[in-house]
Amino acid sequence: MKLQTLVWREIFERKNQLATSFVAILLGVSVIVAMKNITFYSEKAVAYQLDALGANILVLPKSASLQDYYSADMQSDEFPEEYVKRLTTSDLQGLDNLSPKFSIPVEVMGRRYILTGILPKNEFQAKAAWQTVSIFTRPEACGVAVDVPGLAAPAKETLVRKRVVQALGTNELLIGADMAAALKLTEGGTIQLMGRSFKVSAVLPQTGTVDDARAFTHLHTVQQMAGKGAVVNAIEVVGCCQQISQGLVQKINQLLPHAKVVTITQIVDTQIKTNRMMSRLSLLFLTIIVLVGGASIANYMFANVFERRREIGTLMALGASSHVVLRMFLLKAVWLGLAGGVGGYVLGTAMAAILGPRVAGVPVFPMLTPLLWAVGVAVLVCVAATFLPARRAARLDPSAALQEI
């Protein structure tokens, strides 16, 4: 009789005894899989929200009061543009996109608008000292790497998201949708601002923010028009959510001690704490599955060895080696782990799909990665818990076992 046949007969003949161990593995794995799935999609949802919002860190003058996030650049004080160089040439991790801004009020046809100077991407790339800085590439595991079904992707063409454009001439202008409509301007048109003529390179899409009533041109052009030299009154930073939780704001404060660094803590901190709590709970349940599930399996296997002393002794008397007996028990543990891991994955995925929208407010869809993880953990726990009982069985003396009633 083949070893596999012996194992299957043992499982089906004593299936009631396996129920407790199987349920312990099944429930432990299912809870971990559910929490991992919900955490994954929750992090993706936050990354989408941060992308749609734009910068999550602002560097402002010390005297600035953050009354409105999007109008925080309208401060009477400024700080040197050299602060931008300090950020780009630092070794700070987690800086995604960075946009210095300098805003001044302008009047057009009796109406007051805001002219904001921004530094295009090609200006950063033109500076030799800044060329190795990857501030326009989202760091690994920091943001959205793939599209998540059920979540609307942010509009990538708006300045609200990143405030970064590839190129912008000194006499070119990007104009907000409301401002363009009020002044009846279209792409390719011209406009006079503070005695200087600008060509409208593009009319920005409607964003629903104060940017709709603004115009954007090259930072150095606005600095010349204001006559204040190389200064800015805000630097917008898209920081990695994980790095913010690990002290990125404090590090920027140390780098720029004469500036005020603020972040949108309501979004970043709350989500980080939630995801961190779920990660800790996952570790807690992993510990539970190792201790409770492992103890349950070990107890079952020890009892199984005790009950089957005569059967094991008979097998060994018929020529089965200690290695065969050991393999028989370990193979049984592997099948138990496979069943518990696959079952836990299915149950956990279903739980995540049901509870995700209610608990985290995000849709959750099946993923294959947790399947490998769940099966691996379940099999490892089962095999580890079975090893000592299996070793004891393999060391039984056939003569002594056959003499027992």
Q: What is the pLDDT of residues 349-373, one digit of tens each?
A: 999 899 888 876 778 888 888 899 8
d(CA 374, CA 340): 9
pLDDT of residue 333: 84
The three-point CA angle 164-167-173 to 5° equals 85
What the block records as the tokens of 49 is 């929200």
Average pLDDT over residues 39-64: 72
Residue 4, pLDDT > 50, answer yes
Other beta carbons within 10 angstroms of residue 294's beta carbon come to 20
d(CA 85, CA 94): 16
pLDDT band for 162, please (50, 70, 90 cuts): very low
Contact 328, 7 (CB under 8 A): yes
DSSP string, 54-101: --SEEEEETT---S-GGGTT--S--EETHHHHHHHTS--S-EEEEEEE
Q: Give the three-state DSSP class for 298.
A: helix
